Amino acid sequence: MKDIRLVIGNKNYSSWSMCPWLLLKMFDVDFEEIQIALFQDNTAEKLGPYSPSLKVPVLLHQDTTVWDSLAICEYISESLLAGAGWPTSSKRRANARSVSAEIHSEFVALKKEWPLNCKASYRLNPSNDLKNEIARIDAIWSCCRRRFGENGNYLYGRFSIADCMFTPVAACFETYGAELSKDANTYMKNLLDNPFVQQWISLGRKEKEPLSIVYASSA
Whether 4-84 and 90-200 share one fold: the answer is: no
Region 4-84: CATH code = 3.40.30.10
Vertex 40 angle, CA 169 and 37, to 5°: 50
Model confidence, pTM: 0.92
What was the pLDDT predicted at 1? 58
What was the pLDDT predicted at 38? 87
What was the pLDDT predicted at 51? 85
- Rounded Cα distance, 13 and 163, in Å: 18
Q: Single out the residue of 33, 50, 90, 97 nearest to residue 70, CA to CA.
A: 97
The domains of the chain are located at 4-84, 90-200
Residue 74: other Cβ atoms inside 10 A: 18
What was the pLDDT predicted at 173? 97
Q: Is 46 left (phi over 0), alpha (psi -120 to 50) or beta?
A: alpha
What was the pLDDT predicted at 210? 62
Architecture of domain 90-200: Up-down Bundle (1.20)
What was the pLDDT predicted at 22? 98
Q: Which amino acid is at 92?
A: R
Q: What is the mean pLDDT of each run of 10 residues along the chain (219 residues)?
A: 90 95 98 92 88 91 96 98 97 98 96 92 90 98 97 96 98 96 97 98 87 45
